[in-house]
């Protein structure tokens, strides 16, 4: 590894301060005081096609860490080329109260049969064992702010980088959920999104429909169709969670492809009950279940990519495949790409080591 890329993990705190609220992080962050190593830009002949856009590399950040244009601009300068603006809604929406992120005590892959995991107050000693849970509730600012800030985010990107905006529908009394999804996608398009991701998977929104759409092929198809009709030629990606049932995965992927979606991204976090040392809900009452992130879910993400790649090719679905989950070291990008992902993304990893992409570029472009 080149010595010109500084160490970060264990020397500096993450760029998102887990002791602060979402709003404080949005307003005061990102917490980055490092230098910007020189990046060797590959020749344009080596750039790759991503849904009609030429991008410098297959590395990206999924919905989650990039709270606003300041975070987008930072990630872009640090070598991530597919940048996802954190999930937006059609109207302002509060986030969950703190804590929003805590460390959990899991070493190695998250067991499939583990009904709950325990909180730890100690940051792990190395990135490989970085394990956290997050619970934000997909809060966002109002459309006036979003229109301006998303435009600023796009303006911060260099040639060879694209802005992906994640959207979700909101269930409100007396309103149509599907139409709200389409309305939010239209907002993202108006703001200048190059690509739009519909979030069909979030384990942190309780039992609401908006968190489990990826499990229902018919609902996924109907909503995706409505969004495609609304956004026209802007490519649509569907964000999914982990599905162990390969037949259901095949049905969902086929459904969204028929609806006109151009890509699929997986996985989101893996939901588990998180308890403290006393066995009580670590995030407080009402938030017994939250999403597990970091190294422990990499096996889940790679399994999703392996199965999705096979189905996409076997069924000739033509979907671009974005892989995410547990990328906490630079070689993990390669694990996803070699398993079949077209784009490999890091969320938790880039928060705790913002130089993650630069370390990968340093190995592959010299």
Considering the domain boundaries, does residue 1 fall inside one?
Answer: no
**Residue 119 pLDDT > 70, yes or no?**
yes
Please indicate whether residue 325 or residue 202 has the higher confidence score (pLDDT). Answer: 325
Instruction: Tell whether 25 is covered by a domain.
Output: yes
Q: Is residue 4 part of a domain?
A: no
Backbone angles phi, psi at 35, to 5 degrees: -90, 170
Return the minimum-mean-pLDDT range out of 21-30, 191-200, 201-210, 317-326: 201-210
343-360: average pLDDT: 98
d(CA 253, CA 171): 24
Q: What is the pLDDT of residues 152-163, one digit of tens each?
A: 999 999 999 999
Q: Does residue 15 lie in a domain region?
A: no
Q: Is 311 helix (H, G, I), strand (E, B) or coil?
A: helix
- The stretch 70-90 carries a mean pLDDT of 98
Radius of gyration in angstroms for the set of CA atoms belonging to the chain, rounded to a whole number: 19
List, for residues 97-108, the tens digit of each pLDDT value. 999 999 999 989
Give the bridge partners for 116, in sequence order.
273
User: What span, in angstroms and rounded, lies between the C-alpha atoms of 259 and 230?
Assistant: 12
- Burial code (b: 16+ CB inside 10 Å, e: under 16) for 178-214 equals eebbbbbbbbbbebbbbbbbbbbbbbbbeeeebbbbb
The stretches of the chain forming alpha helices (DSSP H) are 22-28, 69-77, 143-155, 177-191, 217-231, 246-258, 298-314, 330-339, 348-352, 356-364
pLDDT at 214: 87
Question: In this predicted structure, what is the pLDDT of residue 366?
Answer: 60
- Residue 263 is assigned to a structural domain of this protein: yes
Crossing angle of helices 246-258/298-314, nearest 10°? 60
> Which residues span the domain enclosing 311?
20-363
Query: What number is the average pLDDT over the span 249-254?
Result: 97
Tally the domains of the chain.
1
Looking at the DSSP assignment, which residues form a beta bridge with residue 165?
Answer: 85, 196
Q: Please, which residues have CB within 8 angstroms of residue 198's CB and are 6 or more apart in sequence?
A: 166, 167, 168, 181, 185, 223, 224, 227, 236, 237, 238, 239, 261
Specify the CATH number for the domain of residue 343.
Answer: 3.20.20.70
* pLDDT single digits (tens) 276-296: 999 999 999 999 999 999 999
- Give catalytic residues, as residue numbers: 202
Q: Does residue 2 have a pLDDT over 80? A: no
Q: What average pLDDT does this structure show over 79-90?
A: 98
- Classify 302 as helix, strand or coil: helix
Q: What percent of the chain has pLDDT over 90?
A: 91
Query: Does the pLDDT value for residue 350 go beyond 50?
Result: yes
| pLDDT at 315 > cutoff 70 | yes
pTM for the predicted model, two decimal places: 0.96
Using alpha carbons only, give the angle 156, 157, 160 rounded to the nearest 5 degrees: 170
Check residue 208 and give its pLDDT.
41
Looking at per-residue confidence, does 298 or 206 come out higher? 298
H/E element, 54? strand 53-55
Q: What are the φ/ψ torsions at residue 61 (nearest 5 degrees)?
A: -125, 125
- Residue 116 placed within a domain: yes
Concatenating the DSSP letter of every residue in 125-165 gives SSGGG-EEEE-----B--HHHHHHHHHHHHHTPPTT-EEEE
Confidence of residue 3 (pLDDT cuts 50, 70, 90): low
Residue 304 clears pLDDT 80, i.e. is over it: yes
- Residue 82 confidence (pLDDT): 99
Tens digit of each residue's pLDDT (9 = 90 or more) over 167-211: 999 999 999 999 999 999 999 999 999 999 999 985 433 334 444
In the predicted model, what is the mean pLDDT of the chain?
Answer: 94
């Amino acid at each position: 590894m080149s010595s010109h890329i500084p160490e970060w993990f264990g020397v500096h705190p993450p760029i998102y301060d887990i002791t602060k609220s979402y709003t404080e992080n949005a307003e005061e962050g990102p917490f980055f005081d490092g230098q910007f190593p020189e990046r060797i830009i590959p020749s344009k002949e080596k750039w790759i096609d991503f849904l009609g856009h030429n991008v410098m590399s297959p590395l990206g950040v999924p919905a989650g860490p990039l709270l606003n244009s300041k975070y987008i601009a930072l990630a872009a300068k640090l070598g991530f080329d597919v940048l996802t603006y954190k999930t937006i809604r059609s109207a302002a929406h509060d986030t969950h109260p703190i804590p929003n992120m805590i460390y959990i005590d899991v070493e190695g892959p998250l067991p499939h049969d583990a009904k709950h995991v325990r909180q730890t107050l100690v940051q792990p000693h190395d990135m490989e064992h970085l394990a956290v849970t997050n619970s934000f509730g997909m809060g966002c600012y109002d459309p006036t702010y979003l229109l301006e800030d998303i435009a600023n985010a796009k303006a911060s990107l260099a040639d060879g980088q694209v802005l992906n905006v994640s959207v979700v529908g909101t269930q409100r009394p007396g309103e149509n959920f599907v139409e709200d999804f389409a309305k939010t996608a239209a907002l993202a398009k108006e703001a200048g999104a190059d690509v739009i991701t519909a979030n069909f998977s979030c384990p942190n929104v309780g039992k609401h429909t908006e968190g489990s759409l990826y499990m229902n092929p018919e609902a996924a198809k109907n909503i995706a169709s409505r969004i495609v009709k609304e956004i026209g030629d802007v490519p649509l990606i569907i964000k999914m969670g982990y599905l162990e049932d390969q037949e259901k995965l095949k049905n969902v992927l086929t459904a969204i492809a028929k609806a006109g979606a151009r890509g699929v991204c997986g996985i989101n976090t893996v939901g588990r009950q998180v308890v403290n040392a006393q066995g009580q809900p670590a995030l407080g009452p009402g938030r017994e279940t939250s999403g597990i992130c970091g190294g422990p879910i990499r096996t889940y993400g790679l399994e999703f990519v392996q199965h999705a790649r096979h189905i996409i090719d076997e069924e000739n679905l033509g979907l671009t495949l974005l892989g995410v989950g547990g990328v906490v070291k630079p070689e993990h990008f390669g694990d996803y790409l070699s398993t079949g992902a077209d784009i490999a993304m890091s969320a938790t990893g880039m928060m705790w080591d913002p130089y993650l992409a630069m370390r990968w570029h340093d190995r592959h472009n010299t």
